[in-house]
Structure 1
Amino acid sequence: MKKNKFFNKNWIFLQNKLFCKCVKNNIKNFFIPLTNFGLLEFSGHDSTSFLHNQLTNNVKYLNTEKTQLSGYCSSKGKLLVTMILWKINNKIVLLLPYELLPSVHKKIKIFILRSKVKLKDITHKHLIFGLIGKKMAYFLQTWFQNLPKKPYDKIDNIFGTLIRITDFNQIPRYQWITKNNIIGIKIWEILSKKFPIANSFEWSFCDIKSGIPQITLETKEKFIPQMINFELIGGIDFKKGCYPGQEIIARIQYLHKIKYRMMLAVINLTNENKDFIFLIKPGVNIFSEENSTKPCGKIVNSVKIETNKIYCLVKVRLDYVKNKKKIYINLVHKLLLKFQRLPYLIVNI
């Protein structure tokens, strides 16, 4: 895999010199170089139908003004990766975590066979920025005459692709994908002079608070989509045709056998438990106070923003949430999960 030399060199400098804890310090407008994401490009006559038969959402609904949240599953219905995809110049681009890109690239390429589809990793040719703040709209209008109004709307022009992401506490968020050329580097320089710079943990925090899960290396093939609320945030189309794992996912949905849901939780760190922060990471099991041997769920994503708090998305058994059971990361060290409201409704709680 080719790496983005410009990003690597400059981001190391920024992490050492200019990193700002924007959320903690209540900074309202900032940007983030999203070096933890990669891009796959599909082209060719059959690219739409091919991806339609591989992903959880209806790729045939894609147009030039909309992006789409989707997932790629194993034959057992477990998520291998979550992504955003869009159509541009008769090509389809997938934005996904860079750590999972090589395995997804390798697996999905196997199924191309005789289809008229070409697959490329185009990460090194682009710069990816995350932008947060109400003032961002004024800044972006310098580059884009019209802005995407709703989450997952997008705009394309010579300066790249601008995507509206789910808001964070009613504050607009955007992802800007631009070429890694003179224009892209100039955009980088202007952004870094005009706004504070944060790192990818701040973006993850916004996703977690918004209830948007991200599959990682640790959680690959661990979750059926409904376990992490994927259909509630628009990541599944149950009316489309077959794709890997579709039969299992549909059976769970229509037989109402969803025993787990994803919840937002916070862990308060104290002098007694702060040395065990290493236990709080994606893929780690969680337990109820009544049963310390059988897990009742698993951490999906976690991030430490404030000094004494860690925010998590966790997959947890519904009956435990309904009965208000106390849930811990580790019973011995009392890493208690305190559940908070998600910005969308989970009807079966």
Structure 2
Amino acid sequence: MTTPFDGIAPLPHLGVIRAEGEDAVKFLHGQLTHDFALLDLQHARLAAFLSAKGRMQASFIGFKRSPTEVLLVCSRDLLAPTLKRMSMFVMRAKARLSDASEEFLLYGLAGSAIEKVAGSAIQASAKADLGNISVVGLVPAGAVPRALWIAPAGTPAPEGSLLPDTLWTWGEVQSGVATLTAPLVDAFVPQMLNYESVDGVSFKKGCYPGQEIVARSQFRGAIKRRAFIVHADVSLQVGAEVFNASEPEQACGIVAQAAPAPGGGWDAIVVLQLAAAESGALHADSAEGPALRLGSLPYALKDDL
């Protein structure tokens, strides 16, 4: 069934880091939150790059183009500092990291556009290769399927109705999976953005920077903040603080991603203290600011793994 959120959208806000070489997969496996050693050519990974203190520096959709080449799609505003920091750890590994953003085209596919392009539906984290084109399934926006289309520069754009940028961004919010951007570097451990609940963290792989912090948070019940979807009647900005009316002096959360809603107002992914989310009475910017109404995530939170 066709929905208003159905078509294709260019994604200029995203960039591409390429890792290539004999040790590229091994290197990424030791740096990111997910298992790249077991990644095959038919799937993709959501993953994060962390500081030694377990705080997110960047988030990625990563997949193999070949056994020795991996592409990491991330927010373009974080690409340069992330590439610089990750390159510091390559050392003697037979791996090369580079900014490949100008070498690829990126489009988002929503609704029936996925089947038109790929020939069939694609589940989240699955990957279909159509010659040099890769289509990666993303977490749906509510009930609407989404996918990432990536192809070498010069490839004709995928067929489909062009979606406004704001509508694709709204779909990202509705998926409940925030992409880390520059204002939020060092703000979250992965669980605060629910990454362990959407297969963005592996607790079975070996060490990576920040791994001890992430594991301790998970297995000692130290997760006190989670990501939620909210709606407001006014615009919301990434990095804006969220307050609870019962504790007006101290912020209880922060806006992680936001977009105008097709029906009016704005929707956002916000990271909230669990107690504040349960009590309600949430407001943006101050305890007397615009009211925030909690919505529903399109996936279940995993408390036990």
Q: TM-score range by the shorter chain?
A: over 0.9
Q: 1:284 to 1:28 in 2, by over 3 A?
A: closer
Decide which of 157, 160, 170 is 2:133's aligned counterpart.
160
Is 1:344 equivalent to 2:299 in the alignment?
A: yes
CA contact (8 A) 1:28 1:134 kept: no
For residues 59-116 of structure 1, the C-alpha deviation after alignment (integer angstroms, 9 at most, x for no partner) is 1111110111100011111101111111112211111111110011100001111111
Is 1:76 equivalent to 2:53 in the alignment?
A: yes
Q: Which amino acid aligns with 1:120?
A: S
| TM-superposed deviation, 1:159 | 4.0
| TM-superposed deviation, 1:140 | 3.6
State the distance in 1 between where 2:121 and 2:262 align.
31
For residues 233-271 of structure 1, the C-alpha deviation after alignment (integer angstroms, 9 at most, x for no partner) is 1000111111111111111111011111111100123xx
State the distance in 1 between where 2:254 and 2:103 align.
36
Q: 1:148 to 1:119 in 2, by over 3 A?
A: farther
Identity level (%): 25
| TM-superposed deviation, 1:55 | 0.2
State the distance in 1 between where 2:19 and 2:219 align.
32
Secondary structure, aligned partner of 1:206: helix
Instruction: Specify every segment of 5 or more residues in structure 2 that has no aligned partner in the other structure, as ranges.
Output: none
State the distance in 2 between where 1:135 and 1:281 align.
29
State the distance in 1 between where 2:237 and 2:90 align.
35
Q: Which amino acid aligns with 1:304?
A: P
The 5 Å alignment of 1:1-349 reads 27-89=4-66, 90-141=68-119, 147=120, 149-181=122-154, 184=155, 187-188=156-157, 191=159, 194-199=160-165, 201-269=166-234, 277=235, 280-306=236-262, 308-322=264-278, 324-331=279-286, 333-346=288-301
Q: Which amino acid aligns with 2:137?
A: R
Q: 1:29 to 1:104 in 2, by over 3 A?
A: same
Worse-matched range after superposition: 131-140 or 204-213: 131-140
Secondary structure, aligned partner of 2:183: coil
State the distance in 1 between where 2:24 and 2:286 align.
49
State the distance in 2 between where 1:64 and 1:148 align.
17
For residues 273-325 of structure 1, the C-alpha deviation after alignment (integer angstroms, 9 at most, x for no partner) is xxxx4xx2112221111222211111111111347411011111111222x23
TM-score, structure 1 as length reference: 0.81
Secondary structure, aligned partner of 2:37: helix
| TM-superposed deviation, 1:28 | 4.7
CA contact (8 A) 2:190 2:214 kept: yes
Q: Which amino acid aligns with 1:223?
A: F
Aligned residue pair count: 301
Q: Which amino acid aligns with 1:79?
A: M
| TM-superposed deviation, 1:332 | 6.2
| TM-superposed deviation, 1:334 | 2.8
CA contact (8 A) 2:49 2:57 kept: yes
Q: 1:227 to 1:197 in 2, by over 3 A?
A: closer
CA contact (8 A) 1:30 1:198 kept: no
State the distance in 1 between where 2:122 and 2:287 align.
48
CA contact (8 A) 1:148 1:154 kept: no
Q: Name the counterpart of 1:11.
A: none
| TM-superposed deviation, 1:149 | 3.1
State the distance in 1 between where 2:193 and 2:6 align.
29
Q: Which amino acid aligns with 2:131?
A: I
State the distance in 2 between where 1:78 and 1:111 align.
17
State the distance in 2 between where 1:139 and 1:320 align.
43
For residues 174-214 of structure 1, the C-alpha deviation after alignment (integer angstroms, 9 at most, x for no partner) is 21111112xx1xx22x73xx523421x32221121111111
Question: Hey, which of these two has a bigger chunk of helix by percent?
Answer: 1
Secondary structure, aligned partner of 1:253: helix
State the distance in 2 between where 1:286 and 1:216 align.
18
State the distance in 1 between where 2:190 and 2:113 align.
35
Q: Which amino acid aligns with 2:268?
A: C
| TM-superposed deviation, 1:161 | 1.0
How much is the aligned-residue C-alpha RMSD, in angstroms?
Answer: 1.9
Q: Which amino acid aligns with 1:84?
A: I
Q: Which amino acid aligns with 1:331?
A: S
